[in-house]
Chains A and B, each alone.
Chain A
């Protein structure tokens, strides 16, 4: 096992951060080089949406890695991944408001009620706002146990995002189905894990002592 010192972790973090910015870099590069195809606004909408969803799923994949394989190093990037999901979702929303609707409030108010998939996408985005706002160390400490409860909203947000995707495609459901499959797996792991824990706890009451240890592990991340 490789041991990484404090400064080393900071370096790894910088790398993870830079990699997470690559999709943005590639989008900007293509935009500058007029390489977004015949319908560049739609392309921007697609690419920012894809990455918002992918980062949501990456965020949700970190805990299952721990549950399934006992890996923990990735847990320290949970906040960063979540914030990148929020970041790409914000860009996605900005593309819609600024480019697709040209900042026209009247057009937006007319457009949204006609598009159930946008209502759903907007809900997915709104749910992420409190999570982003409470992602600071101070807020984690202040909210204590409620922080965890609050942050379960990410499940709802991811579900809504997948519904959003299903609802906007015309006939080919393959792509959203892949994302739905991944999300189902990531949530499924949690459900199975939780069931097993309840089972173990019911069998031997001493297990209760483990709970506080768990909590420390999670809030450490």
Chain B
């Protein structure tokens, strides 16, 4: 019997044949799409150089066996304050965001800091579809088929040092492109963070696509984080910088209202928001007469992540 094991070799060193072929295929898609775009005279909405749809996306055992929420709902009901505070504004106001070329700064406690081009990042990764439940702190949820890759496996490529205890993520700050940033609703730029073990957890992913296609701007294009067992605001969008650091980062919502939004923000039906109950959630896409569903501890991912918080008082570290 053949048992696959990666133990001993860091996953970044492995390039199996399948992965290699996949990269080549993706490069071909990317080139094809770039040519197509040029041929079409640079269509207004197309992101030049980026594949409009991902051809080969691996299925994942981490996916929910549930019908995803309608694409239209996922892309028209967004909390993305950089483009306005209503749910409807981001779908409209984000269309001007230029997502290619895009690069990400990796810095801090890593041996290989640098500025990395997004297209190369995507080509270096095996893309997976992950169907996750997204639970917003506002007590609603959706089921979203993301396309992305595990954050941990990617971060390892930069060789984090032993002092890397936390990961800080920063969103683009550009009030010209992000009109919501012209008002100080939050302390811009948006910052989020994870403890290093949370960042390395296989459920934590970097997302570049939705429903097999390129991630729409209003959903956090071109690169966002998704941490399915935490409230949605942890899953920061349009990331331009990732810092590995020793101290717990100061995150945007936590700075805005520390008693309401903690650093951990784990989904927990037993710890209410100071102003509303977290016991149940409205399922987006359900009918007018459908009752809310019961919210699950760690958003249903307790089996995979509860051990990260063993011995911690979840009421105190909300």
Contact = CB atoms under 8 A, between A and B. Distances in A.
Interface of A: 31, 37-42, 99-100, 102, 104, 107, 110-111, 114-117, 167-168, 170-172
A38 B77 contact: yes
B138 interface: yes
B285 A110 contact: no
A39 B88 CA distance: 11
B275 interface: yes
Contacts of A37: 76-77, 87-88
Contact of B77 (A39, A115, A170): A39
Contact of B256 (A38, A39, A171): A171
B280 interface: yes
A110 B277 contact: yes
A107 B277 CA distance: 10
Given A42-B140, A42-B282, A99-B289, 15 more contacts: A37-B77, A38-B284, A39-B140, A41-B288, A99-B288, A102-B289, A104-B291, A111-B277, A115-B275, A117-B275, A117-B276, A170-B85, A171-B186, A171-B257, A172-B185
A61 B249 CA distance: 49
Contacts of B276: 111, 114-115, 117
Contacts of B73: 38
A172 B282 CA distance: 22
A171 B277 contact: no
Given A37-B87, A41-B282, A171-B256, A102 B291 contact: yes
Contacts of A168: 275
Nearest to B88: A37
Contacts of B85: 170-172
Contacts of B289: 99, 102
Contacts of A100: 282, 292
B246 interface: no
Interface of B: 72-73, 76-77, 81, 85, 87-88, 138, 140, 185-186, 256-257, 272, 275-277, 279-280, 282, 284-285, 288-289, 291-292
16 contacts: A37-B76, A37-B77, A38-B87, A38-B285, A102-B289, A102-B292, A104-B291, A107-B280, A114-B276, A115-B276, A116-B275, A168-B275, A170-B138, A171-B186, A171-B256, A172-B85
Contacts of B282: 39, 41-42, 100
A38 B70 CA distance: 9
B288 A38 contact: no
Contacts of A38: 72-73, 76-77, 87, 284-285
Q: Which of A40, A41, A170, A172 has most B Cβ within 10 Å?
A: A170
Nearest to B273: A114
B288 A114 contact: no
**Shortest 5 CB-CB distances between A and B: which pairs?**
A38-B77, A172-B85, A38-B73, A102-B291, A114-B277
Contacts of B284: 38-39
A186 B226 CA distance: 47
A155 to B, nearest CB: 25
Contacts of A40: 288
A170 B260 CA distance: 10
Nearest to B86: A172
B277 A39 contact: no
Given A107-B280, A115-B275, A171-B186, A39 B291 contact: no
Contacts of B275: 115-117, 167-168
A16 B264 CA distance: 53
A28 B257 CA distance: 37
